[in-house]
Amino acid sequence: MKLYNTNTQSPVSVLIVGGGTAGWMTAAALSAKLAGTGVSIRLVESAEIGTVGVGEATVPHIRHFNASLGFDEADFMSRTEATFKLGIEFRDWGRKGDAYIHPFAAFGRDIGGVPFHHHWTRARRAGRVPAGGLDAVSLPIQAARLGRFGHPSPDPNSFFSTFSYAYQFDAGLYAAYLRSYAEARGVVRTEGKVRDVSVSADGHVQAVTMENGERIEADLFIDCSGFRGLIIEGALKTGYEDWTHFLPCDRAVAVPCANDAPPAPYTRATARDAGWMWRIPLQHRAGNGHVYCSGFITDDAAEQALLAQLDHPPQATPRRLRFTTGKRKRQWVGNVVAIGLSAGFLEPLESTSIHLIQLGIGRLLDLFPTSRDMDPLDAVEFNRLMDLEYERVRDFIILHYVATQRDDTPFWNHCRTMAIPDSLATKMDLFKERGIVTLYRDGMFLEPSWIAVYLGQNILPDQVDPRAALVPDAEIDRLIAMEAENCRRAASSMPAHGEILSRYKAQV
Ligand code: FAD
């Protein structure tokens, strides 16, 4: 972050419009990281409009966000009814009847300097992989299947250091948790609806006017108003890059129900005829939803399909949502930065939205304006970085749809044969030809994640690294069997997931 020269530069005033997960994450982070700089932060939100009310599963990076604010894990998890998340189980994606978990970990270790997946592919082609398949050589998958959880070891030499984890939490409670943190650090909250946005001739926003007539001025506006993009789109007409041709799902219906006890330490995503369903186990309930493509199923049929597979009665009226996958053409325009759903949405298959919020906040802090006159270069750099992140996440999500062998419904026929971005096509070609994943050392999903989806959805390379053949088959079999045994033993030694949650609850 740039530092202020207090003689020549004045701290800015910030107005955050919106108090969902994006608004309160932004308020909490800015209040902590800009403390002492003189920057003032105000947030407006409308209880009447409410929040999107979903968004419960995360990726491991959220732990860094929480830690940077000094959150205690036991306190945070207990107050947000959170569970641990070791990965996502994908059912029926490659073929009907298939199931694999995308864990936050690599499968196996390099053997003879050659990545494990090359040896695995050779052994699998020769019909020599042990029972349990790839799951058998993943500690977090073994733990997830057993309903166990243990914290990774900080010792890089420990077998227990080889995985990571995230959380599943009640998004409403998380926003409340962040709110009390932010308010304690000086963030001023205003309840009410923004009625109007005043834009000056140079395209900068001057103020918002509330329904009660109050005019709120600021130097920097952060649009966290959700899908509507009240300022970035409503006032500034920035435009939206529509990615529906790559990610055709455009609707969702969500409903909570009671959860199994103890809750599972992973999210489930089950492919359906015209989309997929999620199940996110929390401590006090399970979140369920059906994400679907309106071109292939009606809203009523999608809702009925969701309700029909619940194993406990619904706890609320199902909530229907509409969205367009894509992103705002620019996320920082003049003195307005869009964060959250106002910036874009890529559908929740890999639980990436909250992470994109976190990235937006991080980039904003890196480029935070040092004076009331915004430097246009800040916006250029912010937009470049965020575009890159959105495109990387987009490609990884598309992979799940296109890497299917399903031909049982018109929706899956469409997904299997649809055009994909060149950036993804190149990656897939390199993997299919020679198992190469070295282009993946960027973005939030690294090599292990791509390998999990490729192999989990039966995409095997035609050739593997020729060096893999230099290690004798018997040695590979021995090492794979040993890895599987280590994973089995380590997972069995972990405490039950529910036990840790109860211990945490008892501490607060
Ligand atoms: P919202 O929650 O919509 O908040 C908007 C805020 O703006 C509200 O406070 C509202 O009152 C305020 N506002 C709007 N207009 C006005 C106005 N005129 N005046 C005053 N205030 C106003 N993300 C994940 O990371 N993991 C998931 O598992 C996940 N699942 C999802 C499932 C679905 C079906 C959908 C649609 C999204 C999912 N997401 C998920 C995304 C996640 O829900 C959002 O990224 C997150 O909740 C942030 O939303 P937000 O704060 O941008 O918007």
pLDDT per residue as tens digits for the range 65-86: 999 999 999 999 999 999 999 9
Contact 383, 390 (CB under 8 A): no
Q: Which atom of ligand 1 is nearest to the CA of 47?
A: 11
Closest CA relative to residue 270, chosen from 285, 257, 256, 280: 280
Residue 194 assigned to a binding site: yes
In terms of DSSP bridges, do strands 275-281 and 319-322 run parallel, antiparallel, or are they unpaired?
unpaired
Q: How many CB atoms lie within 10 A of CB 70?
A: 8
- Check if 349 has its Cβ closer than 6 Å to any atom of ligand 1: no
Closest CA relative to residue 307, chosen from 321, 317, 293: 317
Element holding 52 (H helix, E strand)? none
Residue 56 assigned to a binding site: no
Query: In sequence order, what are the residues at sequence separation of 6 or more whose Cβ sits closer than 8 angstroms to the Cβ of residue 240?
Result: 233, 324, 326, 327, 328, 329, 344
- Check if 354 has its Cβ closer than 6 Å to any atom of ligand 1: yes
Query: In sequence order, what are the residues at sequence separation of 6 or more whose Cβ sits closer than 8 angstroms to the Cβ of residue 63?
Result: 165, 166, 167
Q: Which of 52, 189, 216 to mutate to test the pocket of ligand 1 (most atoms within 8 A of CB)?
A: 52
> From the CA of 19, how far away is ligand 1's center (Å)?
9
CA distance 37 to 26: 16
What is the C-alpha R_g of the chain?
24
pLDDT at 128: 87
> From the CA of 102, how far away is ligand 1's center (Å)?
25
Q: What is the ipTM of this complex?
A: 0.99
- Check if 321 has its Cβ closer than 6 Å to any atom of ligand 1: yes
pLDDT at 394: 96
> From the CA of 228, how far away is ligand 1's center (Å)?
10
- Which residue's alpha carbon is at the smallest distance from atom 43 of ligand 1? 55
Contact 457, 403 (CB under 8 A): yes
Residue 85 assigned to a binding site: yes
CA distance 120 to 455: 10
Residues of the chain short of pLDDT 70, as ranges, are: 1-11, 439-442
Q: Which of 280, 290, 353 to mutate to test the pocket of ligand 1 (most atoms within 8 A of CB)?
A: 353
Residue 22 assigned to a binding site: yes
Q: Which residues are catalytic?
A: 85
Contact 171, 21 (CB under 8 A): yes
What's the CATH number for 11-104+164-420? 3.50.50.60
Contact 280, 56 (CB under 8 A): yes
> From the CA of 20, how far away is ligand 1's center (Å)?
5
CA distance 85 to 83: 6
Q: Which atom of ligand 1 is nearest to the CA of 21?
A: 51
